[in-house]
A and B are shown apart, each in its own frame.
Chain A
Amino acid sequence: MTAQDPQAAPAEKPVRHGPPIVIAEEVLNERGEETAAQLARTLGPLALESAGREDNPWARVDAKELHAVAKECRDGEMGMDMLNLMLAVDWIDRIQMIYVLYSTTNNRKVILKADLPADAPAIDSLSDLWEAATWYEREAHDLFGVDFPGNRDMSPLLLYEGFEGHPGLKSYPLNDYEEW
């Protein structure tokens, strides 16, 4: 199973020269294996790709089924009642949404990933499953421009009204941005 291999990405990625990149091989400890098994049972065929590291198994699902999968994880056997963390990673050719779910009852962590097209990233909002998602999504919308249909109010959270551009993206100029 391979983690994302940046070199395989299309050409417009900045060409890297330097020592060859070592890919971390992902191995699950035995507790991770149980959680991964549970996750596989919950996801079934929907998991396009799954692996894990120590006790955090992860699975990649298609963006459209993510809402259903998340609902199943929360209500189903795994009982993931807390959305611990939600982040967006900008892989230049695509934006990957990563959800870390945690269950306070049986103390297990699971990571769900979904890939979105880089030009118009949009994914269903999970704010109806977990209240915490509302602020995470507003932040992701501010910094990465990801759209979340279904979130009650998408007003800017970390940035001010009328701020053009999404500073989280790699394409955003880092030090030649002029405020005035």
Chain B
Amino acid sequence: MTNEPQFDHVDMMLNMGPQHPATHGVFRMVLTVDGERVVDVTPHIGYLHRGTERLAEVETYGQVITLFDRVDYISNLNNELAFVRAGEKIMEVEAPERAQYIRVILAELNRVASHLLFIGTYAIDLGGMTPVMYCFRERERIENLFEHVTGARMMHNYMRIGGVKSDVPDDFVPWVRRLIGEVRMGVEESDKLLSTNEVFLARTQGVGVIDGPTAVSCGLSGPSLRGSGVAYDVRKDDPYEIYPYLNYKIPLGENGDCWDRYYLRVLECYESLNMIEQCLDQFPAGPIMAAGRRIARPPAGEVFAHSENPRGDLGVYLVSDGSDKPYRVKIRPPSFCNLVGLATMTRGAYIADAVAILGSLDIVLGEVDR
């Protein structure tokens, strides 16, 4: 009679975060671990909760834009675009054509810069040291252009309800054309270095798989959702600004694993650069601010406007009571919703995979906690 070993089985509770190199900021994952296998994940967030939504209720519409710069501090212009569109919807104001083109060009450049940062930090999560240097070199070029146009590298406060703050300088179009060439070379370099590297493929393919329906039910959006094959992109489904006038492609993944989510972002970089070229070809002249009255006091009402942030569907639900301050601003943060799917993806994976899966969701803690 063989006697079973009588020691009971206790899973180790490993605390990853809130100060941990792989958690992209202040985010804590409590992994219950059996050896190297992850049995369960309970994320803890809220370390960066600044009460942005409540603060927006005591600031005028012009000041709330500076708040939105700091929600997702890696794609600032896309956040500003989301709030400014909600503001324009509620004030029934239409930004002139040239302002819409400037906004879309800068927002797409911001998307490329954000994806470049993702590629760099995702490589570091998996141990590759070099892609981050190449990606940040390109990101630096894009930020120089932002500084040239808006005056600030990251916290721009450039868009206004009804247009943009100031017109682009005269050498804007040649500078952006040159920039597109350089950034495209930079993205190709990182793509060649990383995308089909054997160790990278071994670490990401088939890891953190989530299928379409569960992803949609978890509220995933953006490249994380498109990795599972669901073609949901706000620029295509609910077109805004001048996206209907552009030809572009939305890449879709098939297996919904980490590699798909990563590679879709690389492809989106190329698509965004093509889009910017088309915008530059159609760049019209004209005013950059909606003419007419000083825009301060919107009519009372509720409005929901959302746009395609590099991380997913960034929505703004704006309730106004007719005063010059919004009554209630609710932000639909894509990173917050993508994190709901983290637990279902990480169960049963290794610890090293938990880092890879979290990295592939590309979350930004400022947006998760607001």
Q: A residues touching B (Cβ–Cβ < 8 Å)?
A: 3-6, 16, 18-19, 21-24, 26, 53-56, 58, 81-85, 87, 89-90, 98, 100, 104, 107, 109, 111, 130-132, 134-135, 143, 156-160, 167-168, 170, 172, 174
Contact = CB atoms under 8 A, between A and B. Distances in A.
12 contacts: A21-B299, A22-B300, A24-B301, A89-B330, A107-B238, A131-B217, A134-B340, A158-B46, A158-B49, A159-B46, A159-B49, A160-B46
Interface stretch (B99-107, B187-195, B279-287, B319-327): B319-327
B303 A157 contact: no
Contacts of B58: 174
A132 B340 contact: yes
B332 interface: yes
Given A24-B90, A168-B54, A53 B219 contact: no
Contact of A21 (B300, B304, B369): B300
B330 A85 contact: yes
A137 B92 CA distance: 32
Pairs of residues from A and B, 8 with the lowest C-beta to C-beta distance, nearest first: A132-B219, A24-B301, A21-B322, A24-B299, A87-B330, A22-B299, A158-B46, A131-B218
B53 A168 contact: yes
Given A131-B218, A159-B49, A100 B304 contact: yes
A107 B235 CA distance: 12
Contacts of B49: 158-159
Contact of B213 (A81, A158, A159): A81
Contact of B317 (A5, A82, A98, A130): A98
A134 B336 CA distance: 12
Contacts of B231: 104
A131 B217 CA distance: 5
A105 B313 CA distance: 16
A104 B300 contact: no
Contact of B301 (A3, A55, A158, A172): A3
A104 B232 contact: yes
Q: For B57, B300, B302, B327, which residue has the most chain A Cβ atoms within 10 angstroms? A: B302
Interface in B283-320: 297-304, 306, 313, 315, 317, 319
A5 B82 CA distance: 26
Contacts of B370: 158
Contacts of B54: 143, 167-168, 172, 174
Interface residues of B, number: 50
B156 interface: no
Contacts of B317: 85, 87, 98, 100
A26 B301 contact: yes
Contact of B46 (A18, A87, A134, A157): A157
Given A135-B339, A156-B46, A158-B45, A22 B237 contact: no
Q: Which of A4, A26, A87 has the most CB of B within 10 A?
A: A87
B219 A82 contact: yes
A109 B317 CA distance: 13
A100 B315 contact: yes
B51 A167 contact: yes
B301 A131 contact: no
A89 B318 CA distance: 10
B26 interface: no
B352 to A, nearest CB: 25
A19 B299 CA distance: 11
A134 B45 CA distance: 14
Contacts of A84: 219, 306, 313, 315, 332
B332 A135 contact: no
Contacts of A82: 216-217, 219, 232
Given A157-B45, A158-B46, A89 B319 contact: yes
B230 interface: yes
A146 to B, nearest CB: 14
Nearest to A111: B304
B219 A16 contact: no
B330 A3 contact: no
A131 B45 contact: no
A131 B323 contact: no
A26 B231 CA distance: 30
A82 B303 CA distance: 19
A26 B58 CA distance: 26
Contact of A85 (B46, B297, B299, B332): B332
Contacts of B141: none
B49 to A, nearest CB: 5
A90 B321 CA distance: 12
A42 B46 CA distance: 38
Contact of B237 (A5, A107, A135, A170): A107
B184 interface: no
